[in-house]
Structure 1
Amino acid sequence: ASWQWAGRRAPSLARKGAPRWGEPIPLFGGKDLTGWTFTDPTQAGIWGVEDGALIKHGRGSEIVTTSRFQDFKLHIEFNCGPMANSGVYLRGRYEVQIETNAAQESPNRRMGAVYGFIAPEPAVPRTPDVWQSYDITLVGRTVTVVHNGQTVIDRQEVPGITGGAIDSNEGSPGPIYLQGTEDGRVAFRNIVITPAQ
């Protein structure tokens, strides 16, 4: 028996002209999980709302927006406990890493990286138990990541999907999802997306 593999090249996702931004949309209201669902409802118990924040305690399900987006600007604040790990998946396919436990990993797998592909420059401090922010712009395959007001990835092309991607349909809109399959406590608040029109 022989195997044959057929693959598709990732789409360019080039956009004609600069995006026109719409109105900001809060994705989390600070009171409940309206607008979110789980990849594994049997493991959803790790997620909860405490003091206006969306909190992950330990390993379990990913939490995913019910809405899908193509090109957007995303503001998200996070507080990562000691020895903890999560991530923000853009369109459910490209992970921007959040962690305080990956000191032995390569720079493209640490805090602020597009996981496995693009390391932040300069390196992002891995300080536990402190509120921090990402302002992320994704247009086509081009990503910019701003950590606490400092640009650490500037308009770089993401070459492919992250291993934990929700699907491989790169040409389609996708959700925002927060990684729940890694260890530790990570809290999120002020999650606001501004889609392109």
Structure 2
Amino acid sequence: MRPPLLPIVFWVVACALAMPLAAADNTPPPGFTALFNGKDLSGWQGLVANPPKRAQMSPDQLAAAQRKADRRMREHWRVEDGVLVFDGRGKNLCTVKDYGDFELYVDWKIKPKGDSGIYLRGTPQVQIWDYRDHPEGSGGLYNNKKHPSKPLRCADRPVGQWNTFRIKMVGDKVTVWLNDQLVVDNVVMENYWERDKPIYPTGPIELQSHGNTLYFKNIYIREIPREGP
């Protein structure tokens, strides 16, 4: 004897309603702002030199260089189906706004032999690369010399799958989680551009170009207010 069909239908519907719905891509969680809207490059601009060189430019020189960088950016960075795609040519993609202390989420994906990174305050970098060539994995502060540069563990997913960074930066110290695993624990991020100085108090978030195709989405930031003296 077959069981009554109607109770089964009600049970299936009830289970479906009880399951939490996953947030749509590029929709920030509470308290965060989306840096990438999933539609276009609003809020982003092309890279102009590095922080010390930008500081030496006059306003007119910087504006002219920025216009040129933006034209180049639009040639090599694009949006496809809610994903930010880099074609492997061109330079870094930078936020228009500068940030100080913050918590940042970034989903990223690479191809075989892929290499990239997340610049914090315009400074390299939280490393991204193919863990099969670099068994230590992604997430380390690659350019550190005095302080730890390698991640605590390899937490990368197989190449071609999406990975998620959660990055927290307060003062000059950085903590990184990769796919919910702690890989950098409150480590000083050194100033790559001026080794004798601490890292800059503010600067842009940058997605590093490194001569290979890259994919990014779900880029969210929460600014952390700084405590008074």
Shorter-chain TM-score bucket reads: 0.7 to 0.9
Shift, 1:26, TM fit:
0.7
Q: Does the CA-based 8 Å contact 1:36-1:65 persist in structure 2? A: yes
**Per-residue deviation, 1:101:** 7.4
| Cα separation, 1, equivalents of 2:71 and 2:205 | 20
Deviation per CA, 1:167-190, whole angstroms, max 9, x where unpaired?
x7834311101112x121110000
Alpha-carbon separation, structure 1, partners of 2:198 and 2:80: 34
Match of 1:177 among 206, 213, 226: 206
Structure-2 separation of matches of 1:155 and 1:172 = 17
AA matched with 1:24:
F
Residue in 1 that maps onto 2:143: 116
DSSP 3-state at the match of 1:112: coil
Alpha-carbon distance in structure 2 between the residues aligned to 1:128 and 1:157: 29
Which structure would you say has the larger RCO, counting Cα contacts within 8 Å and 6 or more residues apart? Answer: 1
User: Any unmatched runs of 5+ in structure 2?
Assistant: 1-29, 48-68
Separation of aligned partners in 1, 2:206 and 2:212: 17
1:82 pairs with 112, 126, 134, which one? 112
Q: Assess, with a 3 A threshold, how the Cα gap between structure 1 residues 161 and 112 changes in structure 2: closer, same or farther.
A: same
More deviation, 95-104/134-143? 95-104
In the alignment of these two chains, the number of paired residues is 168
Matched, 1:66 2:105: no
Name the structure 1 match of 2:34. Answer: 26
Over 3 Å counting, the alpha-carbon distance change for 1:99 and 1:76 in structure 2 is same
Q: What residue number does 1:189 align with?
A: 217
1:115 CA displacement: 1.3
Q: 1:96 aligns with which of 126, 140, 147?
A: 126
Give the counterpart letter for 1:65 in structure 2: T
Distance 1:175 1:93 in 2: 9
2:161 aligns with one of 123, 130, 143: 130
SS across alignment from 1:68: coil
Structure 1 counterpart of 2:53: none
Amino acid in structure 2 at the alignment position of 1:130: Q
Q: Is the 8 A contact 2:106 2:218 kept in 1?
A: yes
- What is the aligned-residue identity percentage? 33
Aligned residues of 2:120 and 2:204 also touching (Cα < 8 A): yes
In structure 1, distance between residues paired with 2:167 and 2:126: 9
Is contact 1:112-1:120 (8 Å) kept? yes
Secondary structure class of the residue paired with 1:96 = strand
Structure 1 unaligned regions, length at least 5 = 1-21
The corresponding residue for 1:53 is: 83
Deviations 1:85-105 (A, max 9, x none): 11110111131011127826x
Q: Which residue of the partner structure matches residue 153 of structure 1? A: 184
Whichever of the two has the greater Rg, that structure is 2
Q: Verify the 8 A CA contact 1:82 1:101 in the aligned structure 2.
A: no
8 Å Cα contact 2:138-2:156 kept in structure 1: yes
Q: CA deviation at 1:36?
A: 0.2
